[in-house]
């Protein structure tokens, strides 16, 4: 199994001279089996360039797993060229809309309705299949399995564990560690604290020993103090989770929109010094980099 970061930016794309090294496209990860079968994790702006490359060797057959439907994780869908070409086949998996209780197909169709986009889903020429996911589900693709776990984000967000060719890769989507919304002494504090511990431990057990851990690490601890509840983790909390779960290699991603390459380099250098004796192997996710697992 191998994978390539097609987009590593969080919240909003950030093209420009200061984001060349780590990338300005929003989240998209290309995963390939040894036989070249294709899984795509999230469809941020990074999926556009992937689609251009795929169009050079059609027909295309692939499986797209959408962690959640915030704009930065789906905004590349209308610009994914294989969707417009007859003979291609795409299966899209993702969470339902918990407000309307509609499936992933209805959620994605909204962004291509008039007046937001000139081409509607009904006009796409590829064969598109949809599967709405649930917590704890395992999808068998034949060449790989993809298992889900509900993460903590202001949207229904599924982390995805890909098992392929004897290797495992886990992608969090967007995630903030579960925390107690009550204060000590409040009537519901103890009960909620038990739930928080169980949910956090559930994630630890779900990812225990995975070969690759790709995690939302948008904030520093200082930034997190004023942004707790926004649905994103920190570099340090991600590394602590990785250490507890005994994962193989960690890639810190979903880089803050305003973060420059130089600033990411500075944070990485600091983390390398602070975590040098932790036993955790980690790196910053970089757009375009291909990793063989």
CATH of the domain at 106: 3.60.15.10
Find the angle CA(162)-CA(210)-CA(224) to the nearest 5 degrees: 95
Which residue from 57, 59, 38 is spatially nearest to 47, judged by alpha carbons? 38
| Cβ-based neighbours of 19, under 8 Å, separated by 6 or more | 9, 260, 261
pLDDT for 59: 97
Percent of the chain with pLDDT over 70: 100
pLDDT exceeds 90 at position 134: yes
pLDDT for 222: 97
49: tokens are 């360039």
What average pLDDT does range 97-104 have in this prediction? 86
- Lowest-confidence range among 12-21, 181-190, 261-270, 279-288? 181-190
Which helix or strand (DSSP H or E) is residue 164 part of? strand 158-164
Sign (positive or negative) of CA dihedral 61, 138, 2, 175: positive
Distance CA 278, CA 53 (A): 39
216: tokens are 């939302």
Percent of the chain with pLDDT over 90: 95
Is the whole model's pTM more than 0.85, yes or no?
A: yes
Distance CA 113, CA 102 (A): 16
pLDDT exceeds 90 at position 217: yes
Q: If you search the block for the tokens 């250490």, which residue do you land on?
A: 243
Taking only the tens place, the pLDDT of each residue in 240-270 is 999 999 999 999 999 999 999 999 999 999 9
pLDDT for 99: 82
pLDDT for 246: 98
pLDDT exceeds 90 at position 107: no
pLDDT exceeds 90 at position 108: no
pLDDT for 286: 98
Give the number of other Cβ atoms within 10 Å of residue 265's Cβ.
Answer: 13
pLDDT for 169: 98
Which helix or strand (DSSP H or E) is residue 268 part of? helix 261-274
pLDDT for 97: 87
| The total number of structural domains that make up the chain | 1
Categorize the per-residue pLDDT at 14 as very low, low, confident or very high, splitting at 50, 70 and 90: very high
pLDDT for 100: 82
Whether the CB-CB separation of 88 and 99 falls below 8 Å is answered with no
The boundaries of the domain holding residue 270 are 2-292
pLDDT for 179: 93
Distance CA 76, CA 92 (A): 13
pLDDT for 98: 81
Which helix or strand (DSSP H or E) is residue 32 part of? strand 28-32
């Amino acid at each position: 199994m191998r994978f390539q970061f097609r987009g590593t930016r969080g919240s909003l794309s950030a093209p420009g001279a200061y984001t060349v090294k780590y990338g300005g496209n929003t989240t998209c990860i290309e995963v390939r089996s040894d036989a070249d079968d294709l899984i795509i994790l999230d469809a941020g702006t990074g999926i556009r360039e992937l689609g251009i490359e795929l169009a050079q060797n059609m027909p295309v057959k692939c499986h797209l797993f959408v962690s959640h439907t915030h704009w930065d994780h789906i905004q590349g869908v209308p610009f994914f060229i294989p969707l417009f070409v007859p003979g291609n086949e795409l299966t899209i998996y993702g969470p339902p809309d918990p407000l309307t209780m509609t499936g992933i197909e209805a959620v994605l169709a909204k962004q291509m309705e008039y007046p937001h986009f000139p081409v509607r889903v009904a006009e796409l020429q590829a064969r598109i299949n949809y599967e709405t996911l649930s917590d704890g589900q395992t999808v068998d693709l034949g060449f790989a399995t993809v298992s889900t776990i509900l993460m903590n984000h202001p949207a229904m967000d599924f982390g995805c564990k890909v098992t392929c060719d004897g290797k495992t890769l886990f992608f969090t989507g967007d995630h903030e560690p579960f925390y107690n919304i009550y204060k000590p002494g409040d009537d519901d504090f103890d009960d909620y604290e038990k739930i928080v511990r169980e949910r956090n431990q559930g994630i630890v057990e779900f990812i225990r020993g995975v070969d690759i851990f790709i995690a939302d690490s948008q904030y520093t601890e200082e930034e997190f103090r004023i942004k707790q509840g926004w649905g994103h983790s920190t570099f340090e909390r991600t590394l602590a989770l990785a250490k507890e779960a005994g994962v193989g290699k960690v890639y810190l991603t979903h880089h803050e929109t305003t973060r420059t390459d130089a600033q990411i380099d500075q944070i990485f250098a600091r983390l390398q010094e602070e975590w040098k004796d932790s036993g955790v192997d980690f790196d910053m996710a970089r757009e375009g980099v291909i990793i063989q697992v």
